[in-house]
Amino acid sequence: MKNANLIRAILGILMLIPHMALAQGKTYFGVAMLNSTYKADGYNHRSTGLVGRLGYDFNRYFAVESHFGGDVGQQSNVSAGIGQARIVDFYSAFLCLNSHFGNKRVYALGGITYGTRELKGPNSSAAIRYNDSNKSFGLGIEAYQNDAISFQLEWVRYFDNRYYRVDAWNLGLVTRF
């Protein structure tokens, strides 16, 4: 039930964006390289992936934003003899609080993420997949080159529960239209 409500919320935000896009310059899209860390029971797993973001600025101080992405390539060892882990995909819905300083925007994200993680044993090719949803939060900065293009650096904790957490540094490009 919790996952169905998350999917409805994300779809609701995405369905509103075409209507909001009538106000030029308020809708934005970005692509970033994802450098995530999966931590569970003292074991760390680092991987690389891609994340896309789609958002809408209601005003200079408030926006809604969705992230979607996942790890690319093969799984990485969590630790020798322990196995492998990765985040297959994730979908997030965030409220975004902004503050502007010259040609820079500093922002804080708060919301929810739904995703799939995959685990493999140390001597097995069989994988187990788990679906999960959790609260998410992060901080970021955008440096504008002009009215349409900016560079973005952000840190986001996509998952945080008592069994594991996933943090990510995202470095990318954002365009406003």
- We report the CATH number of the domain holding residue 99 as 2.40.160.20
Task: Compute the average pLDDT of residues 52-64.
Answer: 93
10/19 Cα distance (integer angstroms): 15
- Smallest CA-to-CA distance from 106 within 79, 142, 74 is with 142
Of 18-32, 40-54, 84-98, 126-140, where does mean pLDDT reach its minimum?
18-32
Q: What integer pLDDT is reported at residue 110 of this predicted model?
A: 96
Q: Provide CB contacts within 8 A for 130, sequence distance 6+.
A: 116, 117, 118, 119
Task: Compute the average pLDDT of residues 134-163.
Answer: 92
- Does position 124 have pLDDT exceeding 50, yes or no? yes
13: pLDDT confidence band, cut at 50, 70 and 90? low
Domain count, the chain: 1
Strand partners, 157: 137, 167
24/76 Cα distance (integer angstroms): 42
pTM: 0.80
113/136 Cα distance (integer angstroms): 6
Burial class of 177 by CB neighbour count within 10 A (0 to 12, 13 to 18, 19+): exposed
The domain of 161 spans 2-176
138/135 Cα distance (integer angstroms): 11
110/157 Cα distance (integer angstroms): 10
Task: Compute the average pLDDT of residues 65-82.
Answer: 71
109/31 Cα distance (integer angstroms): 17
* pLDDT tens digits, 82-112: 667 778 899 999 999 999 998 999 999 999 9
